[in-house]
Amino acid sequence: MRTVLIIDDHHLIRTGIKNLLNSFSQELTFLEASTLSQGMDILARESKIDLLLMDLMLPDADDFEGIKSIKKLRPEIALAVVSAHETRDIIRNVIENGADGFIPKTADAEVFKSAVALMLEGEVYLPRSYYQPSDEPEIETASNPIDNLTKRQLDVFKLMCIGYSNKEIGQQLELSESTIKTHISAILRHYRTNSRAKAIVQFQQLHLP
């Protein structure tokens, strides 16, 4: 008997996953949480958990930080993110933060079952779209999301991405507006754009840590 913990704030998703997996194996029991903190409580309390399926964008979570803190608490549990957002950057971040798999919510039943079966065996599952980038074969190599940004640039970037002006960012970080401009220029150059609006839109769905 294996135990699966599902962390998702949507009741429908939780029951959807349960029913789907029940139809594939009677050997599963389920625990459910609708927030990260509920999930952490369960993880601290329940010793026997074999697989954790979690959403990104939980109401109380810092997404990638959530993955990190779970893996810190219980590194032995296989952790898969089940998410509606399946860009390569998000998937890469999910994995780099310690997850063992990524299942798109759009995955059909058979794929979903196989992926879960794999992960229960300690394997890793990533969707085809991660290995086969849609159109061009790797033009990027530099225009990545969070990585390659320095610590300070990330600080600035996060505040920019929640709509702060340069002045506001400067006040928040106790730096001069000039310094913020320097950082913003570096960030935009890094992402190969020259408008903060485009940068925000490009990376807003990542819900940065």
Can you give the binding site for DNA, defined by CB under 7 A? Answer: 150-153, 165-167, 173, 175-179, 181-185, 188-189, 194-197
Query: In the complex, what is the shortest distance from the CB of residue 98 to a copy of itself, in angstroms, rounded to a whole number?
Result: 23
The torsion defined by the Cα of 187, 189, 193 and 198, in degrees rounded to 10, comes to 0
Rounded CA separation 206/94 (Å): 10
Own/partner pairs, 17-25, CB within 8 angstroms, 24+ separation? 17/53, 17/82, 20/109, 20/112, 20/113, 21/113, 21/116, 23/109, 24/113, 24/116, 24/117, 25/117
Among DNA, a copy of itself, none, what does residue 176 contact (CB within 5–8 Å per kind)? DNA
* Residue 166 binding: pick among DNA, a copy of itself, none (C-beta 5-8 Å cut-off by kind): DNA
- AA letter at 35: T
User: Interface with a copy of itself includes 109 (CB under 8 A)?
Assistant: yes
Q: What's the closest the beta carbon of residue 165 comes to a copy of itself, in angstroms?
A: 6
- Tell me the torsion sign for CA atoms 24, 29, 33, 39: negative
If one asks whether residue 6 binds a copy of itself (CB under 8 A), the answer comes out as no
Q: Which of 3, 16, 30, 155 binds a copy of itself (CB under 8 A)?
A: 16
Judged by CB under 8 A, which of 11, 48, 189, 192 binds a copy of itself? 11
The two structure tokens encoding residue 47 = 């010793």
- In the complex, the smallest distance separating the C-beta of residue 207 from a copy of itself, rounded to whole angstroms, is 10
Q: Which residues bind a copy of itself (CB under 8 A)?
A: 9-17, 19-20, 34, 82, 84, 105-109, 112, 160-165, 195-198, 200-202, 204-205
